[in-house]
Each structure stands twice: as C-alpha cells, then as structure tokens.
Amino acid sequence: MLAFALTACSGGATSSATDTAGDSGTTGDSDATGDSDTTGESDASTAGGPAFELAACALPFDCSPLCEHIGVADCDTLNGEGPRCAAKLLVAGTPGVLEHYLQYYGQPEVQTIYVMRGDGTAVLQTRTRDAQDLPWENPGTPMVCDVALSPELAQACEVDDFACQWQRTLYEGCAETTIAGCDEVEAWLADDGP
C-alpha cells in the first residue's frame, strides 16, 4: 500500500485552475478520491468533441495548490496551509476554485480543478501529462459532485484546529456534466450558486 502526504505545493494561487482526482478514466458515478474513475484520461468526446476545458478560463485560485506526490520534489513540505485554506472554503459554503496535483511514483501527473458553486456542489475536471515538461493532454469530462462535509471537519475549521484539512474524499455522488463556457463558470463564482 502506498503512503503519501497532502502538502501545499510551491507556487502562486492565481493561475489557471486544474486539479486531480485520480489515476484512471472519467466515467460514471463515483467519488473524487482518485481510487475510482474520475480522471482526465477518459474519452472526452461524449458530445462529439473534446470536453470544455476549465483551465482555459484562467480562474483565480482561492488557496495555494494542493499536492499529493510520491517521488517528486516540486511540492512544498509546508503541511497544512493549502489543505486548511481549502477545507475552510468548503466549510464556508461559498463559491471558489481549487487546484490539486496527484502523481504516484512513475505514473503520469494528474491535475484537477475544483469549482465550488456555493450550493453544496462542485464541478471538477482533470487532465494528465506524462512529465512536467510536457503539455497537458485533453481534459476529461467535467463531473459535478456533492461536497460531503462532516460535523467534525466543520468544527475543526471553526476553531482552526490542525484537523481542518481538505481531502479528495470530500466529494461524492459524482456524475458527468457539461459546461457551456467560461461565462457559466464565472457566474457560479459571482453568485451564490448555479
């Protein structure tokens, strides 16, 4: 069984958004834990062409990048700050954008963007690349998921306890969705939800 740590990546929180949910294809209902089929390696042509790419919207990130890397030295070792910021965003229930990177040793890097819509749901999309100096591959099908918060997480974030930590398992009941374009995404972020 592989062990890995969730850390805050080095880098700013203002670039285009993409995050990681896993290491396989993007199909069907699942949670966004990466142990299922919510990644960017799916056939993104469910509507006759490539999926809309969230990264093309140049969305502002609300927290520093979230990383789960094994054998990769580009993640900051400052545990807690990025995951704590992300958990507080989810607990607050406000719209926002997170990015997450996942790379198991020797496997392609997966990037996921999470757009919290402020209504208890989030839209996420992943994409992959074989090496950090290569371009990202076509994005996976966007997924809409329920944000699953426990009372314990909400309490930890309220008192700023170390247990206030973001995890990929906070998203469940995921299903494929479509995105009309950046205007729709920006409307989610400007309002209290879709």
Per-residue pLDDT of the chain (194 residues; tens, 9 = 90+): 333 334 444 343 433 343 334 433 333 344 444 444 443 333 433 445 567 899 999 899 999 888 887 544 545 444 568 889 999 999 999 999 999 988 877 788 899 999 999 999 999 999 999 887 899 987 999 999 999 999 999 999 999 898 998 988 899 999 999 999 999 999 999 965 55
Domains of the chain: total: 1
| H-helix or E-strand spanning residue 5 | none
Domain interval for residue 63: 6-190
Indicate whether 67 belongs to any domain.
yes
Q: Are 36 and 172 in contact (CB under 8 A)?
A: no
Alpha-helical (H) ranges within the chain are 81-92, 151-158, 182-190
Indicate whether 117 belongs to any domain.
yes
Phi, psi of 90 (to 5 degrees): -65, -40
Indicate whether 75 belongs to any domain.
yes
Strand partners, 54: none
Indicate whether 44 belongs to any domain.
yes
Q: How far apart are alpha carbons 83 and 164 in whole angstroms? A: 8
Strands (E), 54-183: 66-69, 96-103, 109-116, 121-129, 143-147, 171-176
Indicate whether 83 belongs to any domain.
yes
Indicate whether 1 belongs to any domain.
no
Indicate whether 111 belongs to any domain.
yes
| pTM higher than the cut 0.85 | no
First and final C-alpha spacing in the chain? 39
